[in-house]
C-alpha cells in the first residue's frame, strides 16, 4: 500500500516542481480516488508462500506547500482507504487513515512521515502509530524505515497473523 501512496505523492511533487507557484498560496490537490486498484504484494506473498493481492478503494487528498521563493517545500496527504488483502484461500478487510508528509531531500530521496492507522483487522491485528520512511525515487527502493508505536506492518507477528488469516 505504501507503494501506491509514494508513487502518487512523487508524481504530485514532480508536477509541483514544474508548475509556477505563488509562495503565499499552497495548492490543494483534488481527491485522488482509488477505485478497486489491485496489485500483488510481493513481500507478503513471499512470507505467506502463496500470492497475496491488495485491492484499494478510497481517496488520498493532499496539499502542496511552497517556500517564500515559490519552491516546493512539503506535500501533506490524508489517506482514507479501504483495502482488501486476498489470497486463493480467502480475504480480509483493512483500512489506512491518517496524515502523511512528504518532503524532497537534497540528495534526491523522498522522506515520508506518517501517523494514523496503517492496517487494522478489527479485533485481530493492527498497525497504529508513527512511521518515518526514506525512498530512493530513482530506484523506488525503500532505503530507511523507522516505526514507533505498533506501526510496523512487517513485524513477524503481524505478517504471521495475516498469512494465517489468508491461508489454507
Residue 167 CA: distances (Å) to CA of 80, 89, 93, 134: 27, 6, 15, 32
Percentage of the chain modeled with pLDDT above 90: 48
pLDDT, tens digit (0-9, with 9 covering 90-100), for 37-55: 999 999 999 999 999 999 9
The DSSP 8-state label assigned to residue 26 in this structure reads P
Q: For all residues of the chain together, what is the average pLDDT?
A: 84
CA gap 74, 16 in Å, rounded = 10
The DSSP 8-state label assigned to residue 44 in this structure reads H
Question: In which domain, by residue range, is 39 found?
Answer: 2-166
Q: Is the pLDDT of residue 32 over 90?
A: no
The residue ranking higher by pLDDT, 5 or 121, is: 121
pLDDT at 110: 93
Confidence of residue 70 (pLDDT cuts 50, 70, 90): confident
pLDDT, tens digit (0-9, with 9 covering 90-100), for 141-159: 999 999 888 877 777 788 9
Q: Once rounded to an integer, what is the mean pLDDT over residues 88-109?
A: 92
The residue ranking higher by pLDDT, 21 or 62, is: 62
Give the DSSP per-residue string, 80-137.
EEEEEEEETTEEEEEEEEEEEEEEE-TTSEEEEEEEEEEEEETTTEEEEEEEEEEEET
Question: Three-state SS for 138?
Answer: coil
Q: How many domains does the chain have?
A: 1
Highest mean pLDDT among 21-30, 116-125, 150-159: 116-125
Q: Once rounded to an integer, what is the mean pLDDT over residues 125-134?
A: 88
C-alpha cell at 28: 490543494
pLDDT at 1: 44
C-alpha cell at 53: 493481492
Amino acid at each position: 500500500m505504501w507503494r501506491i501512496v509514494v508513487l502518487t505523492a512523487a508524481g504530485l511533487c514532480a508536477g509541483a516542481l514544474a508548475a509556477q507557484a505563488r509562495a503565499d498560496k499552497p495548492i490543494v490537490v483534488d481527491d485522488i480516488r482509488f477505485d478497486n486498484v489491485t496489485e500483488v504484494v510481493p513481500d507478503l506473498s513471499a512470507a505467506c508462500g502463496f500470492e497475496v493481492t491488495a485491492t484499494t478503494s478510497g481517496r488520498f487528498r493532499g496539499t502542496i506547500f511552497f517556500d517564500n521563493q515559490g519552491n516546493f517545500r512539503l506535500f501533506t496527504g490524508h489517506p482514507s482507504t479501504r483495502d482488501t488483502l486476498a489470497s486463493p484461500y480467502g480475504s480480509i478487510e483493512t483500512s489506512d487513515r491518517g496524515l502523511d508528509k512528504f518532503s524532497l531531500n537534497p540528495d534526491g530521496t523522498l522522506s515520508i512521515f506518517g501517523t494514523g492507522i496503517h492496517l487494522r483487522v478489527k479485533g485481530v491485528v493492527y498497525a497504529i502509530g508513527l512511521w518515518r520512511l526514506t525512498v530512493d525515487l530513482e530506484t523506488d527502493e525503500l532505503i530507511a524505515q523507522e516505526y514507533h508505536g505498533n506501526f510496523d506492518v512487517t513485524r513477524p507477528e503481524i505478517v504471521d497473523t495475516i498469512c494465517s488469516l489468508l491461508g489454507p
